[in-house]
Amino acid sequence: MTAKDYRTKSPLLIFLGYFRRHLPLFLLDISCACLIAGVDLAFPLITRMALYELLPNSLYRAFFTVMVAAGLCYLLRAGLYYIVCYYGHTFGIRVEADIRADLFRHMQELSFDFYDKNRTGQLMSRLTADLFDLTELAHHGPEDLLTSVVTILGALVVLSTIQWRLALIVAALIPIFVAVVAFMRKDMRAASAAVKQKTGHINAEIESSLSGIRTAKAFANEPVEAARFAAANEQFKTSKRGFHRAMGRFNCAMEFFLSILNVAVIGYGGYLIMAGRMDYRDLLTFSLYIATFVSPMRKLANFSEMFANGFAGLHRFVEVMGTEPTLKDAPDAQPLTHVRGRVTVKDVHFTYDGENEVLRGVSLDVAPGETVGVVGPSGGGKTTLCQLIPRFYDMTAGSISIDGVDVRQVTQQSLHEQIGIVQQDVFLFADTIFENIRYGKPGATREEVEEAAKRAMLYDDILAMPQGFETYVGERGTLLSGGQKQRVAIARIFLKNPPILILDEATSALDSVTEAEIQNSFDELAKGRTTLIIAHRLSTVRGADRIVAISDGLITETGTHEALLAKGGIYARLYRTQNALALEAG
């Protein structure tokens, strides 16, 4: 389904659509549940027959035969309960897994700006806690609803054959209970939605606090984080209180109904016995059926709570699935292949918020195989420009093309395959150093990974580690030094071997000696490739074919290292400042 389908279709129909993939399990679960209901309906009838025929007529052998048969039926019922419990939950988990897979797949399709606006903890909550309630609803919802309806209707049919007047009293009370359920479900659903929102908020706070635990400790700000968590936790408690209040009102009404049902049956049944219209054995049968009513009524109550929780999670799922990616492949988009590497930026404007322009009419033409350094003060637009080339964002105006083809006219996947990026903030997965390097080319052999590590000047460091390439790097690479993390990211690009390179402060975490060593590898990799180097350290771009200075969203100057020094503009000022700082440090 498309995002539009998720916005226009009924959430219930969307949810039931996931049942089709596992229909045999669902039918097995429902069939066994109906057989359980059948056993429950049969026992009061068996009791009535024993009281009317077997015991008064001294048919003791038949009586005990019937009792043994009833015992075997309950043994079968126990086995059916096992099937319902095991395979029913298996069905629910598979539905949950399918929903989570679709949600994660859709999240991968969403653009960078979606993640700019949504916190990781909130999204984690939608992928985990919200979907757990859907598992319960998928398993128990249809089963509880169907068996409750079958049991209640079946019992009413049997009771009407025994004493229709008393059955009518029972039948008149049931719609009242259903009306109470329908009325109170709205409150429970709203309260459940508030709980899920607050759960997402507290998950976001926990994720933020745990990710920044080292910073918190460095500043001795544990009390600040504890206070922030306590505030989020208090909001969570408040929202839970509202849900429990709604649930309490519901259970209160349900318990009153179940109790008054017994009173009504015994009271009116007693009157009928006094009037000679009913036998006490029939009243006993009625009482057994009323006891049978208790279980489906409680199931209906649980279903109402389950429905409220599950649908609150379902609506949050549908909300994300209905979000359109701001960046989409054009209907006629073609894969980008056989790239030579000409990058043409023509009169590009860009704004993140729709108001303040980060880039204002930037134009740049990079020839195939040319190395261009991009420098300038922080906030000038260097990184933004290099994020527009792989189309992480769409420009507000202007165009960017590769080999004369507009990046908006090619598939995003093929575009990303042709561009290698070492970003300023290195992200490493909580895995081995081998897998983190191989992320640049998932099917790479060990020899290819080792070669990439050598070219990134990381091979000797890896061999010195306790488990070599199988060394665990820790969460976000915390067990590696800053320079090692940066070189893992660089090794990924060596492994990917793309025709276009974007190095966003690629050597910013390296010491001067290592930077000088790895620069030779970069020079080798850049041969025959188009390379854009964003740098604060001007030594990184000194040997570039051309250097472009960006300030306040505009290209202010362009030329070689020597030409820009002679010009005495932004580049010259940055160069003199860095040299002065280097002399002071020396």
Question: From the first residue on, what is the mean pLDDT of each consecutive set of 10 residues in the chain (586 residues)?
Answer: 79 85 89 86 77 76 85 89 86 86 85 78 75 78 81 80 79 78 69 69 68 64 76 71 75 76 80 80 76 74 74 82 85 88 92 85 90 85 87 90 92 89 78 88 88 86 88 79 80 87 75 69 76 82 86 88 85 76 50
Domain parsing of the chain, residue ranges: 3-321, 332-418+501-586, 427-497
Domain spanning 427-497, CATH class? alpha beta
pTM above 0.75, yes or no: no
User: Number of C-alpha atoms within 13 angstroms, CB side, residue 334?
Assistant: 6
Return the SS3 of 361: strand
First to last CA, the chain: 63
Residue 346, pLDDT score:
93
Dihedral angle over CA of 513, 517, 522, 523, nearest 10: 110
* 427-497 has the same fold as 332-418+501-586: yes
The 3 state secondary structure assigned to 178-204 is HHHHHHHHHHHHHHHHHHHHHHHHHHH
Domain 332-418+501-586 has CATH 3.40.50.300: yes
Residue 77, pLDDT score:
87
Residue 345, pLDDT score:
92
Which residue intervals of 354-481 are DSSP H helices? Answer: 382-388, 412-417, 433-438, 446-455, 459-463
Residue 508, pLDDT score:
65
As a whole number of angstroms, the distance between CA 36 and CA 31 comes to 9
The second-level CATH assignment, the architecture, of 3-321 is Up-down Bundle (1.20)
CA of residue 157 relative to chain centroid, distance? 47
User: Number of C-alpha atoms within 13 angstroms, CB side, residue 271?
Assistant: 8
Residue 579, pLDDT score:
65
What residue has token string 């129909």?
13
As a whole number of angstroms, the distance between CA 435 and CA 488 comes to 10
As a whole number of angstroms, the distance between CA 277 and CA 270 comes to 10
Which residues have a Cβ under 8 Å from the Cβ of 254 and sit 6 or more positions away? 177, 180, 297, 298, 301
What does each C-alpha distance from 184 to 29, 189, 307 come to in angstroms?
A: 28, 9, 12
Which residues have a Cβ under 8 Å from the Cβ of 126 and sit 6 or more positions away? 103, 200, 316, 317, 320
Residue 523, pLDDT score:
73
